[in-house]
Amino acid sequence: MTPPAINMNSTASATTTGDKPKSSAFRIGLGDITVNNLGQIKRLNTVLFPVVYNSSFYKEILEVGEFAKIIYFNDVCVGGVCCRKEPIAGDKSSQNLYIATLGVLAPYRRLGLGSRLLTHILENAELTSSSEPKIGKVYLHVQKTNEEALEFYKKHGFQIAETLENYYPQFDDKDAYRLEKVLN
């Protein structure tokens, strides 16, 4: 299936092992999340995350534009990112951006796809139009035991801002870090 709107294309070489894609050249594209492909991001989130997101979550991501994307690998949907803008109480000129989900299917990790999604979000956060409040900070939550995610976000300039005990009471690994990156 061809993505509805590709913002980025690249051809790159991959030397992979194990169950990773064995293509020597591949195409990567970012696509908008629309009502026509909303089922794809719902299915991805079901596979990638232990949290079940409700219909209002998916309604909101249809309205955040560049802050919700699907990533395609050779025209196959393999990951996505969903964010929400959050006003700052008492500050009409600034807002924060919360990354609710960012994930890539396991066989497609370590190919730069998650980095492509995150870079897209960060670049667009810095380009907020003059008619909107400026995004001052991007933040998210990660389980304390998720070392792969912690390493990924730290590599992209995020820092641990807070440790939250029992943040995920429904899971065995209940504690989380709030990671954040302050933008210029």
Q: Which residues are catalytic?
A: 98, 141
Token duo for residue 42:
């719902």
Give DSSP secondary structure letters for the chain. ---S----EEEE-----TTS---SSEEEEEEE--TTTHHHHHHHHHHH-SSPP-HHHHHHHTTSGGGEEEEEETTEEEEEEEEEEEEETTEEEEEEEEEEEEEE-GGGTTSSHHHHHHHHHHHHHHT--TTSPEEEEEEEEEETT-HHHHHHHHHTT-EEEEEETTSSTTSSS--EEEEEEE--
